[in-house]
A = this chain, B = another copy of it.
Amino acid sequence: MAEIEAIARMVNQLARLPGVGRKTAQRLAYHILEMPEDQVRELAVAIFDGKKKVKLCPVCGNYTEGKLCAICRDSQRRRDIVCVVKDPRDVNAMERMRDYNGLYHVLHGVISPMDGVGPDDIRIRELLSRLGEGEIREVVLATNPDVEGEATAAYISRLIKPLGVKVTRIAHGVPVGGELEYTDEITLMRAFQGRREL
């Protein structure tokens, strides 16, 4: 069916999505061809409208359909603590734990010289200008516990500490429900170093 250009184009576009190989893209394309036209329209519109309507919150960088995001707008939340995360998905993860009541700052990336991403390519400047307003007293660095996440946390920490703001890092350790036997050495070392008196 390679000669049908409209199908080939659909397959090519779908195959650009992450985790979608050519075979999967073909399967999806044929499924879409079998769907009723109004359902296909709904799918295409949902994709395009979603992209068009969803903006970044000018304060924290989280996704929003309005001007400020729902969290920045929420007057019930503490404004003196900010949790710094890599991307909006991490905001979701933090919100799922239902234990944090402060604000967020979404970096939209982490420092990664290998990928050509420097400090100016992520929203660090915006974080500094938020801190300049003087309301924030603690910054919790919640980037991932991988090389780039650690480096980004260390970089931001060095930058912020001189401003007299408390800077904390989320704890590393054995995951709840995990087993020591299957925990890698570095995590175990971090868990040991981070031990607390009971």
Stretch at the interface among A85-93, A116-124, A152-160, A186-194: A85-93
The verdict on A136 contacting chain B, using a C-beta distance below 8 Å, is: no
Query: Of A49-57, A125-133, A141-149, A161-169, which stretch is located at the interface?
Result: A49-57
B63 touches A7 (CB 8 A): yes
Question: With contacts A30-B89, A43-B13, A47-B44 known, is A54 near B18, CB below 8 A?
Answer: no
Contact indicator A48/B41 (Cβ below 8 Å): yes
User: A171 at interface (Cβ–Cβ under 8 A)?
Assistant: no
Q: Are A50 and B29 in contact (CB under 8 A)?
A: yes
- Residue A112, interface by CB 8 Å: no
Q: Which residues of B contact A52 (CB under 8 A)?
A: 37
Chain A contact patch, size range: 35 or more
Judged by a CB distance under 8 angstroms, whether A180 is at the interface is no
Residues of B within 8 A of A12 (CB): 46
Residues of B contacting A101 with CB < 8 Å? none
What residues of B have a CB within 8 angstroms of the CB of A18 in the complex? Answer: 27-28, 31
Which of A18, A41, A43, A92 gathers the greatest number of chain B CB atoms within 10 Å? A43
Tell me the bound Cα distance from A37 to B47 in angstroms: 11
Partner of A10, one of B19, B20, B46: B46
